[in-house]
């Protein structure tokens, strides 16, 4: 076959996944990344013997990862079933305790995490959440007996949404309005269009259970009060395939994916910021021809995929004269997801430390009002909820002997709010660390802490180049879902594609891997890639 060349701007997990797929489809692919390390949000901070994953920590759907490690050059398997029939029952924990499939194991060790999350309420009680329905039922009976029966009904509703919304429609690319209207009646029937919190509130009476069964979209930038109830599928995705951890951290997974990409013959260039996507006018068409780096170097290619933030891609990288659909006003009109403050810290272990888990959600005194402060009013409230991650409980290699490495993540307004993080950041970090210490989550933390740093929305805006400092791209809400979400195939520029959390289907590591496959499929079709390759047969 004729070799074609592709450039992928950005090495987030979606960018690398797409690059692996393009390389396997036969394109000579180069990733150009502005930072000095691959991973994007999954960048790794290494300080004083501590290893901090700066972003994603909760891995789900390990067979998406396995699929990438199974790819070969010119054997792309894009037409293979997205969810093979055995996938629901085929997630064994090996005798070695690992959960990654056979191809994954050649590159990185993946292990299951239990409980999935320990969720603390403001009154100090907690809920251990895992896949075992009897266990979950017992927890509900202990904390909110009035909700046991509602849970059974919620479980069935979430299962139906998962089966239709994820197993059947998960890989549907909504490139046209018609494709969306075709599935709308089904989703309406399942109640998947209403806000998630409304759906959950129908089944649960207690505030605690309403929080437990609605907080998960926050991990992908969604406001539980606004995100469509199709996101109830997250509950079932986790229940079906578990929650996992890559030994050595998510950074080890990124390194493994890069290794796979390079073994397939791809090239990764770091410290290579793209200043402009080069577009040529050919007749009536505007056609992507390559990129210009900030250094002035020109890289020509037959197609360009941007893994950079959606808004940044159009506003900063594609000249206005080439944009009829994604005009400035349209791009800026879209709602951006919330942002985050993330505090990375290392502390000395102490005997008798409280019983925290690998993943802890610590909810504050307010829920709906706090969400409204963050997403709608865009004010930094006095109170906060947080996700406390302590990987050293699973993997001591992340910290020097006798120490824990941890991060705590607090949803905060994006930079369209008025917070001056230069002034507020340090005080807010003190407050959060003080809370963990004074409320007994990590007693004596202030004295025991040997390392601390943090990032604020300014990091997302200035370092990662995300418009308005969004943590997760455009906010997942009904009006920005499916067809209404930015398109993976540019409507403005032929040969320009997008991949990652700002595109379809959405944010989170499994979704960006799905987006990589959806984008690669569009490319395979547009470039008439040999069907034998698409079907996984040697060319």
Ligand X SMILES: Cc1cc2nc3c(=O)[nH]c(=O)nc-3n(C[C@H](O)[C@H](O)[C@H](O)COP(=O)(O)OP(=O)(O)OC[C@H]3O[C@@H](n4cnc5c(N)ncnc54)[C@H](O)[C@@H]3O)c2cc1C
Which residues form the interface with ligand X (CB under 6 A)?
9-15, 32-35, 40-42, 55-58, 219-220, 273-274, 307-308, 340, 342, 409, 464-465, 471-472, 500-501, 507-509, 512
Q: How far is the CB of 5 from ligand X (least distance, A)?
A: 17
Inter-residue contact 164 to 172 (CB < 8 Å)? no
- Rank residues 139 and 313 by Cβ distance to ligand X and give the closer one: 313
Q: How far is the CB of 471 from ligand X (least distance, A)?
A: 5
Q: How far is the CB of 94 from ligand X (least distance, A)?
A: 23
Inter-residue contact 533 to 539 (CB < 8 Å)? yes
- The residue whose Cβ lies closest to ligand X is 12
- Rank residues 160 and 523 by Cβ distance to ligand X and give the closer one: 523
> What's the Cα-to-Cα distance from 122 to each of 214, 319, 399, rounded to whole Å?
16, 49, 29
Counting every residue, how long is the chain? 539
- Rank residues 12 and 290 by Cβ distance to ligand X and give the closer one: 12
DSSP sequence for 136-154: HHHHHHHH-GGGHHHHHHH
Name the region of 96 (left: φ>0; alpha: ψ -120 to 50; beta: rest): alpha
Q: Copy the structure tokens of residue 123.
A: 């009154």
Q: How far is the CB of 497 from ligand X (least distance, A)?
A: 13
Specify the pairing of strand 403-412 against strand 386-389. Answer: antiparallel
- Rank residues 40 and 195 by Cβ distance to ligand X and give the closer one: 40
Q: How far is the CB of 78 from ligand X (least distance, A)?
A: 19
- Rank residues 190 and 419 by Cβ distance to ligand X and give the closer one: 419
Inter-residue contact 194 to 187 (CB < 8 Å)? no
Q: How far is the CB of 234 from ligand X (least distance, A)?
A: 10
Q: How far is the CB of 462 from ligand X (least distance, A)?
A: 11
Instruction: Give the integer Cα–Cα distance in Å for 508 and 535.
Output: 27
- Rank residues 140 and 341 by Cβ distance to ligand X and give the closer one: 341
Instruction: Give the integer Cα–Cα distance in Å for 482 and 181.
Output: 10
- Rank residues 209 and 514 by Cβ distance to ligand X and give the closer one: 514
Q: Copy the structure tokens of residue 259.
A: 């290794």
Instruction: Give the integer Cα–Cα distance in Å for 12 and 272.
Output: 14
Q: What's the CA dihedral at 501, 361, 194, 335 to 10 degrees? A: -40
Task: Tell me the torsion sign for CA atoms 303, 304, 307, 312.
Answer: negative
- Rank residues 29 and 203 by Cβ distance to ligand X and give the closer one: 29
> What's the Cα-to-Cα distance from 30 to each of 213, 243, 431, 499, rounded to whole Å?
41, 32, 44, 15
Instruction: Give the integer Cα–Cα distance in Å for 331 and 315.
Output: 8
Query: In the Cβ-directed half-sphere of 103, how many Cα atoms lie within 13 Å?
Result: 14
- Rank residues 56 and 150 by Cβ distance to ligand X and give the closer one: 56
Q: How far is the CB of 290 from ligand X (least distance, A)?
A: 13
Q: How far is the CB of 263 from ligand X (least distance, A)?
A: 20
């Amino acid at each position: 076959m004729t070799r074609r060349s592709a450039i992928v701007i950005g090495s987030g997990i979606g960018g690398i996944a797409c690059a692996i797929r393009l390389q396997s489809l036969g394109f000579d692919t180069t990733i150009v990344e502005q930072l000095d390390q691959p991973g994007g949000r999954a960048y790794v901070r290494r300080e004083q013997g501590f290893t901090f994953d700066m972003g994603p920590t909760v891995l789900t759907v390990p067979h998406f990862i396995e699929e990438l490690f199974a790819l070969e050059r010119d054997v792309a398997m894009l037409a293979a079933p997205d969810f093979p029939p055995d996938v629901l029952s085929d997630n064994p924990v090996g005798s070695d305790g690992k959960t990654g499939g056979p191809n994954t194991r050649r590159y990185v060790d993946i292990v299951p995490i239990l409980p999935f999350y320990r969720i603390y309420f403001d009154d100090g009680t907690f809920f251990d959440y895992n896949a075992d329905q009897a266990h979950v039922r017992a927890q509900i009976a202990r904390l909110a007996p009035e909700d046991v029966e509602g849970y059974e009904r919620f479980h069935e509703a979430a299962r139906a949404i998962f089966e239709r919304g994820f197993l059947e429609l998960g890989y549907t690319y909504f490139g046209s309005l018609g494709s969306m209207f075709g599935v709308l009646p089904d989703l309406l029937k399942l109640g998947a269009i209403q806000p998630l919190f409304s759906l959950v509130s129908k089944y649960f009476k207690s505030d605690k259970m309403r929080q437990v069964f609605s907080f998960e979209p926050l991990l992908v930038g969604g406001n539980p009060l606004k995100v469509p109830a199709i996101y109830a599928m997250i509950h079932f995705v986790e229940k079906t395939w578990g929650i996992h951890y890559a030994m050595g951290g998510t950074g080890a997974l990124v390194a493994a994916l890069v290794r796979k990409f390079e073994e397939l013959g791809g090239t990764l260039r770091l410290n290579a910021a793209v200043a402009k996507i080069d577009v040529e006018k050919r007749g009536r068409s505007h056609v992507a021809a390559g990129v210009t780096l900030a250094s002035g170097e020109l890289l020509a290619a037959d197609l360009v995929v941007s893994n950079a933030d959606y808004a940044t891609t159009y506003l900063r990288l594609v000249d206005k004269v080439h944009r009829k659909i994604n005009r400035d006003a349209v791009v800026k009109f879209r709602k951006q997801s919330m942002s985050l403050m993330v505090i990375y810290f290392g502390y000395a272990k102490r005997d008798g430390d409280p019983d925290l888990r690998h993943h802890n959600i610590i909810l504050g005194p307010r829920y709906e009002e706090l969400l409204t402060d963050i997403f709608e009013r865009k004010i930094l409230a006095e109170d906060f909820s947080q996700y406390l991650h302590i990987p050293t409980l699973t993997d001591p290699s992340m910290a020097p002997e006798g120490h824990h490495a941890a991060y705590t993540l607090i949803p905060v307004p994006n930079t369209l709010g008025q917070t001056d993080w230069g002034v507020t950041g340090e005080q807010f970090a003190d407050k959060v660390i003080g809370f963990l210490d004074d409320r007994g989550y990590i007693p004596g933390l202030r004295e025991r802490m040997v390392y601390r740093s943090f990032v604020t929305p300014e990091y997302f805006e200035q370092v990662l180049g995300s418009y308005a400092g969004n943590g997760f791209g455009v906010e997942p809400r009904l009006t920005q879902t499916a067809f209404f979400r930015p398109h993976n195939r540019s409507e403005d520029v032929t040969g320009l594609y997008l991949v990652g959390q700002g595109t379809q289907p959405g944010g989170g590591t499994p979704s960006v891997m799905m987006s990589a496959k959806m984008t690669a499929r569009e490319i395979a079709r547009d470039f008439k890639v040999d069907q034998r390759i698409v079907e996984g047969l040697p060319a």
